[in-house]
Structure 1
Amino acid sequence: TWHLQYTVQAKSLDRMWTRRCGCVGGALRGLRAAPRPRRSCATRPGPPWRVLFFGSDGFAAESLERLHASSSGPAGGIVETLEVVTLSSSAPVQRLAERRGLKVHSWPDVDAAGRFDVGVVVSFGCLLPERLIGQLPCGILNVHPSLLPRWRGPAPVFHTVLHGDTITGVTIMQIRPKRFDVGPILHQEVCRVPERCTAEELGASLATVGARLLMETLENLPERILHQQEQSKEGATFAPKINSAMSWILWEQQTCVQIDRLYRAIGSRVPLRTVWNGKTVKLLDFVGKCNVSFFDSVLKESNILAVFCKDGWVGFRTVKLKKSLSAADFYNGYLHQGFQKRVPAEQVCAFRSGGAKKDAAPTEHRELTSTTTSRSMLEKPRSWW
């Protein structure tokens, strides 16, 4: 009876309000049809969370593995449900998700509204739209392998090694729309960069740290969000993608240390390159700085091709033209006959800086003039073994 009386009264008031104000549908009808408020992270006491994971590479797979272990573990875990968004069917994250029986969504057809509490993005490579971020009550967390704001961008680990940083770390931040790596910091840990490590070795180490920090953040996420810290406006640097143009060695400008860092940063993905007799040569199996004189024979015994750069000699064990050759085979097949026709002071292999137009170094560094080359080769031979 009460419900019937309320409904009749409401309809009567609606008609009266519509006649007086010209409102379509009525104020009370709008109040009755209002949706329930969306659950927010601040009002939920804590885990387990419904997680939507965005990732692609091996670095991301480490975090996904930890999340899955929590979801499939004993009662009281951090993760209630876990689903995955990835970009490629061949990506490590895709393969891991298939092995673990996780549901995979195709990008960009993702609708998270009402189905997940929080998102986690690790090495995904795409800017997430504001609409998607807003669908997740606790927002989207990002595992970033640097001490933000240093090395914002897609390749922080490579640039950490390339620039000789001795300290790095991992940052857990909450992403914001329209820009990469600028959101507030929820968790951060400093790590020492091992001496002479490669980017792959450092990345694997930071992936383990990042997965642990992610789980620590999810354990008390509402509190972490409550005490989040904005990134400093000072000290921000950008880490652009690695590209093939970076692999050209500038012998006249780069020191032994710089070439060593370049090799450890990108050498396993993009071989270092130079020019010999107008042909592109890839230099593999870098051995570091060589303490040699012009007439030293130890390099031949060690099967090392030594090349002179800005401040000394650096060595390589393998040279690749059409196929890979050892330093000895390169000498016997390409250098020995030419050396026999020259006086001792001219027995050098003239490597030159630069490369093809598509991905060459800057024009002024692309190639030495013949006059400069002859003089520099006689005074400081470009290579010897």
Structure 2
Amino acid sequence: MFPLDLIKYPRKFSFLSTSGKFLTSNRRIKFIKIRANHSSSRSRSWSILFFGTDNFAVESLQKLHTKYNSQNAIKKLEVVVLPTAIENSVKKYAEKYNIKTHTWPLKSQPSNFDLGVVVSFGRLIPTSIIQSFPLGMINIHGSLLPKWRGAAPINHAIINGDVETGVTVVKLMPKKYDIGDIIDQKKTPIHPDETFPQLCDRLAKIGSDLLLSTVQRLPDILLLARPQRVEDVTYAPKLYPQMSIINWDAMSAKNIYNLQRGLLNVYPLTTYFEANIIKLYNINLAETPKIQTPNEKPGFVIYSRKRKLLLVKCKDGQWISVSNITVPGRRVMNALDFYNGYIAGRQKKSTCFNSNVNEIQKESICSVK
């Protein structure tokens, strides 16, 4: 145990944390109290209450559960889940392995837990609950905070064309999401063709490793957390269906490709065609077709018989390819079926996809051989 004078008069003493960094006076007081309560921190095992919902969270829960089963670092593990009406992968995992669960909102304050862990929970935690944990609460967030605060950081990183992202362990704060001090981070590149499901799986694994590393370095690591740089903040708001509509007049081919990568398995990309919203699947960057179309506006559509794909001109003069389409009331069809059913043999001069139903103007039908 630490001497009483050390707690009363911390300024008399100059010492390092176990990481070798000097602590400020305020942090010294916190550090002393935590270490006084957990003097054998390196061999200490912790009681953790886990808050989570989706597959991203399950990866972290599984990592904690493995440590709990090995009786190393974690001596108690329970979970908080959202109501059963909401799909919850964490709840399924907890039921499968007989982990005790609590339903949100909690009926009483958590007790006999050292730390709260939040991963993809989607609910603000009240101050009273955060303060009920001696070590507070931490959150695993799928971005390099303060970049991409919010509900959909992985999606927005891809849509924005970022080449790098990562995972952040951050102290949980009440009233606002993702504003707490940064405890630890790990960076990773975003591959040029990587989609949301692929990147989400990778970041979930990185996040689970980072969480376990944080737990194993408690309590010292909490005292070394650093504030976020406010000037670097960007936001990743919740996704909504309207985001899937392609703006042909503003988006380059790469913009559209990135939008599909970021929304894959969330919303298919959509566009207007003859006053209907149609869905486009399997979009890729495409080589410029051999025919010359300098005067055709963005959204101009041709069918390539050789590639068996629809080719669509974009704002920057580059092209994307589309292999499958859904028209309202019809099943998914390939590019040839769409061409035969909706383009070939018509009297109009052109076929264009449009950003807005009021902009529908078509001029010619082309077929590349």
TM-score band, normalised by shorter chain: 0.7 to 0.9
**Aligned: 1:56 with 2:64:** no
Aligned position for 1:349: 351
Gaps of 5+ in 2: 1-32, 294-301
Aligned match of 1:279 in 276, 280, 288? 276
Partner SS for 2:262:
helix
Deviations along 1:115-152, one digit per CA (max 9) or x if unpaired, are 21100000000000011101111111100111111111
Aligned position for 1:149: 146
Deviations along 1:62-101, one digit per CA (max 9) or x if unpaired, are 000000000011x4x1111111111143311111111111
Aligned match of 1:177 in 174, 180, 203? 174
Partner SS for 1:269:
coil
Note the 1:77-156 alignment, pairs <5 A.
Answer: 77-89=72-84, 90-156=87-153
Aligned match of 1:337 in 345, 357, 363? 345
Distance 1:233 1:271 in 2: 34
Quick check: which one's helix share is greater?
1
Aligned match of 2:313 in 291, 308, 312? 308
1:213, CA displacement in angstroms? 0.6
Note the 1:289-300 alignment, pairs <5 A.
Answer: 289-294=286-291, 299-300=304-305
Contact map agreement 1:112 1:136 (CA 8 A) in 2: no
Contact map agreement 2:114 2:133 (CA 8 A) in 1: yes
TM-score (norm 2): 0.82
Distance 1:266 1:282, change over 3 A: same
1:272, CA displacement in angstroms? 0.6
1:350, CA displacement in angstroms? 2.2
Same amino acid, percent of matched pairs: 34
Deviations along 1:310-331, one digit per CA (max 9) or x if unpaired, are 1222110001012211000111
After TM superposition, the runs of 4+ consecutive aligned structure 1 residues lying more than 6 A away are 295-298
Distance 1:298 1:254 in 2: 21
- What's the Cα RMSD here? 2.1
Amino acid at match of 2:60: S
TM-score (norm 1): 0.79
Contact map agreement 2:196 2:262 (CA 8 A) in 1: yes
Contact map agreement 1:251 1:353 (CA 8 A) in 2: yes
Note the 1:316-335 alignment, pairs <5 A.
Answer: 316-321=322-327, 322=329, 323-335=331-343
Distance 1:313 1:367, change over 3 A: farther
Contact map agreement 1:287 1:316 (CA 8 A) in 2: yes
Distance 1:59 1:295 in 2: 47
Contact map agreement 2:303 2:311 (CA 8 A) in 1: no
Amino acid at match of 1:134: Q
Partner SS for 2:260:
helix
Distance 2:106 2:367 in 1: 57
Contact map agreement 2:279 2:326 (CA 8 A) in 1: yes
Contact map agreement 1:349 1:384 (CA 8 A) in 2: no
Contact map agreement 2:50 2:79 (CA 8 A) in 1: yes
Partner SS for 1:239:
coil
Aligned position for 2:159: 162
Distance 1:235 1:146 in 2: 13
Partner SS for 1:212:
helix
Note the 1:194-213 alignment, pairs <5 A.
Answer: 194-213=191-210
Distance 1:286 1:330 in 2: 15
Amino acid at match of 2:352: A
1:113, CA displacement in angstroms? 3.7
Distance 2:321 2:94 in 1: 42
Amino acid at match of 2:325: V
Deviations along 1:294-353, one digit per CA (max 9) or x if unpaired, are 379982122211111212221100010122110001111121131xx35xxx2x322111
Partner SS for 1:329:
helix
Contact map agreement 1:59 1:207 (CA 8 A) in 2: yes
Distance 1:130 1:292, change over 3 A: same
Contact map agreement 1:150 1:238 (CA 8 A) in 2: yes
1:110, CA displacement in angstroms? 4.5
Partner SS for 1:203:
helix
Amino acid at match of 1:324: V
1:287, CA displacement in angstroms? 2.3
Partner SS for 1:352:
coil
Amino acid at match of 2:235: F
1:41, CA displacement in angstroms? 4.3
Partner SS for 1:225:
helix
**Aligned: 1:367 with 2:364:** no
Amino acid at match of 1:328: L
